[in-house]
Amino acid sequence: MADARRLPVLNLIAPILAKNKPYTGQEPSDNYLDRLIQSISFAQRHMTVLENANAGDFDDAVKYDIYKAPSDGRKIFTSSCLRLI
Protein backbone atom coordinates (compact mmCIF):
# COMPACT_ATOMS: atom_id res chain seq x y z
CA MET A 1 0.00 0.00 0.00
CA ALA A 2 2.79 2.43 0.86
CA ASP A 3 4.44 1.63 -2.47
CA ALA A 4 1.28 2.67 -4.31
CA ARG A 5 1.15 5.97 -2.39
CA ARG A 6 4.84 6.60 -3.10
CA LEU A 7 4.63 5.83 -6.81
CA PRO A 8 3.48 9.28 -8.06
CA VAL A 9 6.31 11.02 -6.19
CA LEU A 10 8.86 8.44 -7.31
CA ASN A 11 7.68 8.94 -10.89
CA LEU A 12 8.34 12.68 -10.48
CA ILE A 13 11.88 12.28 -9.19
CA ALA A 14 13.05 9.22 -11.17
CA PRO A 15 13.85 11.09 -14.42
CA ILE A 16 15.81 13.70 -12.50
CA LEU A 17 17.82 11.14 -10.57
CA ALA A 18 18.48 9.28 -13.82
CA LYS A 19 20.21 12.39 -15.21
CA ASN A 20 22.69 12.46 -12.31
CA LYS A 21 25.94 10.66 -12.89
CA PRO A 22 26.69 7.81 -10.48
CA TYR A 23 28.98 8.55 -7.57
CA THR A 24 32.55 7.85 -8.64
CA GLY A 25 34.45 9.00 -5.58
CA GLN A 26 36.00 11.93 -7.45
CA GLU A 27 34.07 14.47 -5.36
CA PRO A 28 33.37 14.53 -1.64
CA SER A 29 30.34 12.43 -0.77
CA ASP A 30 28.76 15.43 1.00
CA ASN A 31 28.84 17.42 -2.25
CA TYR A 32 27.35 14.52 -4.18
CA LEU A 33 24.56 14.08 -1.65
CA ASP A 34 23.87 17.84 -1.63
CA ARG A 35 23.57 17.79 -5.41
CA LEU A 36 21.10 14.90 -5.29
CA ILE A 37 19.02 16.55 -2.58
CA GLN A 38 18.90 19.84 -4.46
CA SER A 39 17.91 18.13 -7.70
CA ILE A 40 14.75 16.65 -6.14
CA SER A 41 14.01 19.35 -3.56
CA PHE A 42 10.85 20.30 -5.46
CA ALA A 43 9.30 16.99 -4.32
CA GLN A 44 10.12 17.48 -0.62
CA ARG A 45 6.63 18.79 0.17
CA HIS A 46 5.03 15.77 -1.45
CA MET A 47 7.28 13.47 0.60
CA THR A 48 6.47 15.35 3.81
CA VAL A 49 2.72 15.20 3.21
CA LEU A 50 2.87 11.45 2.59
CA GLU A 51 5.09 10.90 5.63
CA ASN A 52 2.78 12.91 7.90
CA ALA A 53 -0.36 11.20 6.61
CA ASN A 54 1.04 7.67 6.57
CA ALA A 55 3.97 7.07 8.88
CA GLY A 56 6.74 5.30 7.05
CA ASP A 57 5.89 6.33 3.49
CA PHE A 58 8.98 8.54 3.20
CA ASP A 59 10.93 7.87 6.37
CA ASP A 60 14.74 7.89 6.55
CA ALA A 61 15.00 4.32 5.25
CA VAL A 62 13.05 5.13 2.09
CA LYS A 63 15.04 8.32 1.48
CA TYR A 64 18.26 6.40 2.01
CA ASP A 65 17.24 3.90 -0.67
CA ILE A 66 16.37 6.72 -3.07
CA TYR A 67 19.71 8.45 -2.61
CA LYS A 68 21.65 5.18 -2.59
CA ALA A 69 20.41 4.13 -6.02
CA PRO A 70 22.48 6.64 -8.06
CA SER A 71 25.58 5.73 -6.08
CA ASP A 72 25.55 2.19 -7.49
CA GLY A 73 24.68 0.83 -4.06
CA ARG A 74 27.84 2.16 -2.45
CA LYS A 75 27.46 3.24 1.12
CA ILE A 76 28.71 6.81 0.81
CA PHE A 77 26.65 8.17 3.68
CA THR A 78 24.72 6.83 6.63
CA SER A 79 20.99 6.95 7.12
CA SER A 80 21.53 9.17 10.17
CA CYS A 81 22.81 11.96 7.92
CA LEU A 82 19.43 12.00 6.14
CA ARG A 83 17.79 13.33 9.28
CA LEU A 84 19.33 16.66 8.34
CA ILE A 85 17.20 16.75 5.19
**pLDDT the model gives residue 45:** 85
**pLDDT the model gives residue 76:** 57
Whether 17 has a pLDDT exceeding 60, the answer reads: yes
What CA–CA distance (Å, rounded) separates 17 from 70? 7
Domain coverage including residue 27 = 2-84
Whether 85 has a pLDDT exceeding 50, the answer reads: no
Find the DSSP H helices in 1-85.
2-19, 29-39, 44-53, 60-68
- In this prediction, residue 7 has a pLDDT band, given cuts at 50, 70 and 90, of confident
User: What's the total number of domains in the chain?
Assistant: 1
More confident residue, 50 or 78: 50
**pLDDT the model gives residue 84:** 44
pTM of the model: 0.62
**Is the distance from CB of 40 to CB of 17 less than 8 angstroms?**
yes
**Is the distance from CB of 53 to CB of 46 less than 8 angstroms?**
no
